[in-house]
A = this chain, B = another copy of it.
Amino acid sequence: MEYASKLLANAVYEISQLPGIGKRTALRLALHLLKQPEQQTVALADALIKLRTEIAYCKSCFNISDSTVCEICANPKRDEGLICVVEDIRDVMAIENTSQYQGLYHVLGGKISPMDGVGPQDLNIGALVQKVKDGKVRELIFALSSTMEGDTTNFYIYKQLDGLDIVTSTIARGISVGDELEYADEITLGRSILNRVPFENSMKAN
């Protein structure tokens, strides 16, 4: 595509570097910004720069944070002995939104994926193993996605913990609450029968 202006061409190029945004969408967004007050573009650019240059990560759990220790890790009411291992901070948000979890988190920053060039050394696994070795952790909950990469990562960490006194668990997989059995996929339905729970437990949860 030919652009009438180099400024526009450059803006479209930079916007289209974002994932899931092609040249056409980038052009639409650039033209939208041109129609809005200048202040909106300034605020957007400013927010992006501030985010990228000033963001900090919690030195304990690697969650995004405005300070060196995040609000969750700093909260004395949370159970230090229970750590939920997640892929990224979106998972932390999702679990926090349930209000069902009172332990801490450990954000790996990704999954082991040789295809994408991500090895164990690229993730925050060393710090997690060290935490367990320090002896304060009672139980690890693996909450990675149930893909091949997620399972690989779970297994890698599990092997690293060999010989250490720690309980490990994974979040339950099963039919979503409110879902009809007939529309569930076979693997999920099969697992939910194998991993059935005592009826009394399911009553307690409600």
Interface centre among A52, A56, A63 (most CB of B within 10 A): A52
Which residue of B has the minimal Cβ distance to A45? B45
- Are A4 and B48 in contact, CB atoms less than 8 angstroms apart? no
Within 8 Å by CB of A8, from B4, B18, B20, B51, lies B51
Report how many copies the assembly holds. Answer: 2
- Are A15 and B44 in contact, CB atoms less than 8 angstroms apart? yes
A contact residues, total (Cβ < 8 Å): 58
A6 at the interface (CB under 8 A from B): yes
- Are B18 and A32 in contact, CB atoms less than 8 angstroms apart? yes
- Are A10 and B44 in contact, CB atoms less than 8 angstroms apart? no
- Are B89 and A4 in contact, CB atoms less than 8 angstroms apart? yes
- Are B41 and A52 in contact, CB atoms less than 8 angstroms apart? yes
Residues of chain B lying within 8 A (CB to CB) of residue A46? 45
